[in-house]
Amino acid sequence: MAPGSFAEYTVVPANMALPVPSVKPKYLTLLVSGSTAYISLAKLAELSQGQRVLVTAAAGGTGQFAVQLSKRAKCHVIGTCSSEEKSSFLKTIGCDRPINYKTEDVKAVLQREYPEGVDVVYESVGGALFDLAVDALATKGRLIVIGFISGYQSPTGLSPIKAGALPAKLLRKSASVRGFFLNHYFSQCQAAMDDLLKLCEGGELACGVDLGERSPGGLFTGLESVFRAVDYMYTGKNTGKIVVELPHSVSSKL
C-alpha cells in the first residue's frame, strides 16, 4: 500500500502493511481492488435494496468486487464487458445483466431495459463510456469515478469527455459525480480488509485472478514478464486481477 512497484523486494513502513493469512494470489486482489470497491461503495454509493447499479469493466480487477458487493446490498447489477467469456464469469458472481459491448450496444440496452435510468454507476473506463454513464443516470443518481483506463496511455494522461454539458445534465437530474482515490481513505483500509478476508475465507466472495494463462506469452512469471502483463491489461482481455508471480514466493499486482 506504499508507493513503488515492479520490484522483487521493497521496504515499506510497518503501518502501511496489511497482514494476510498466507501468500496466495487471491489476497492480492483485495489490497487495492477489493478495498477500493468496498470503501467507495460504502462511503459514496448510498446503496439500498432494489437499486440499479451499473459497473463498467465489470469483469476486471476492481469491477468484480463492485458487482459482488452491490449484490450483497440486494441491488440489481448491470455490468459491461468485452467478451462472452467475461459475460459468463459475471453471471457466476451474481451480475443480473452482463452487457458484452462487442456484440451489444450499451446505450441501446440501457435505454430499452432501464428507461428510468440507473441509480449508481461504478466507472473506471472514462471517455465515451463516462459520457454514456452520465446520460444513463436516474434522478438523484450517483456516478463514482475510480479510474479512467481509456486515458492512461494518452500523452496527457486524460480521458476525453464532453464536460461542457455535464453541469446541465447533473442539474436536471439532481445527480452527482464523485471521485474516489484509495489513498485518501487509507485509515479505513484495515477494517475493509478484515471484512473482505472474512468473506473470502467463508466462500462468500470470489477473488478472480488472471495469471496470464490465456496471454500470448503464457503465465506471467518473473519480473521480466511485467511488461507483457501491462500490455495484456491494456488489451482488456484479463478476467479478474492480473497477478505476476515473482521468485521466492513474492508476488506483485497490477
Q: Are residues 152 and 227 in the same domain?
A: no
Q: What's the mean pLDDT in 213-227? A: 93
- Do 178 and 216 share a domain, yes or no? no
Print the domain residue range for 150. 27-183
Share of the chain above pLDDT 90, in %: 77
pLDDT of residue 112: 98
The pLDDT of 207-219, averaged and rounded, is: 94
What is the amino acid identity at position 123? Answer: E
Between 236 and 33, name the one with better pLDDT. 33
Of 96, 144, 105, give the one whose Cα is nearest residue 124: 144
* 212 Rama sector, left if φ>0, alpha if ψ -120 to 50, beta otherwise: left
Task: Give pLDDT, residue 32.
Answer: 93
pLDDT band, residue 246 (cuts 50/70/90): confident
More confident residue, 20 or 89: 89
Domain match, 155 and 217 both: no
What confidence tier does 191 reach under pLDDT thresholds 50, 70, 90?
Answer: very high
pLDDT of the residue at 1: 66
Statement to judge: residues 127 and 235 lie in one domain: no
Residue 123 sits in the same domain as residue 171: yes
Q: Is the pLDDT of residue 206 over 60?
A: yes
CATH number at residue 163: 3.40.50.720
> Do 136 and 241 belong together in one domain?
no
Residues 143 and 215 reside in one and the same domain = no
